[in-house]
Amino acid sequence: MTAPADTADRGVLTISDSTVERIAAHAVTEVDGVGGAASRVLGVAVGGEDLDNSAKVTAKVAGGTATLDVRISVSYPMSVARATENARRHLMRRIEEFTGLTVSQVDITVTALHTATAETRRVQ
């Protein structure tokens, strides 16, 4: 019987940017008061926030470290600072838990504030 190979002899695990993006987009939905990002065209929000869809996440993985750029909306009147800090801590913890990567930076852009009740517009 042969001895098990050392961990260095087993191969390399590579986690793609897109995998981290999908994990982060799902993980941010677990944070209270955070919703999907508003759609943007040429940097201008159009159509309002997308509460049912996930946040927009861009990830860069280098070695054992990941950086995230996240676009979300926040429930009004929740503190934006508190919501983004909760999201940042949660994302760092969940990415490390699922991938083993260390998250060195999480940049968050709040694209919209939304209320608990959706506004409806009527033509008069």
Which of 114 and 98 is assigned the larger pLDDT? 98
Q: What is the pLDDT of residue 114?
A: 82
Q: What percent of the chain clears pLDDT 70, i.e. is strictly above it?
A: 73
Average pLDDT, the chain: 83
- pTM of the full structure: 0.75
SS3 string, the chain, reads CCCCCCHHHCCCCCCCHHHHHHHHHHHHHHCCCEECCEEEECCEEEEEECCCCCCEEEEEEECCEEEEEEEEEEECCCCHHHHHHHHHHHHHHHHHHHHCCEEEEEEEEEEEEECCCCCCCCCC
Q: Has residue 37 got a pLDDT over 90? A: no
Under the banding of pLDDT at 50, 70 and 90, the label for residue 8 is: low
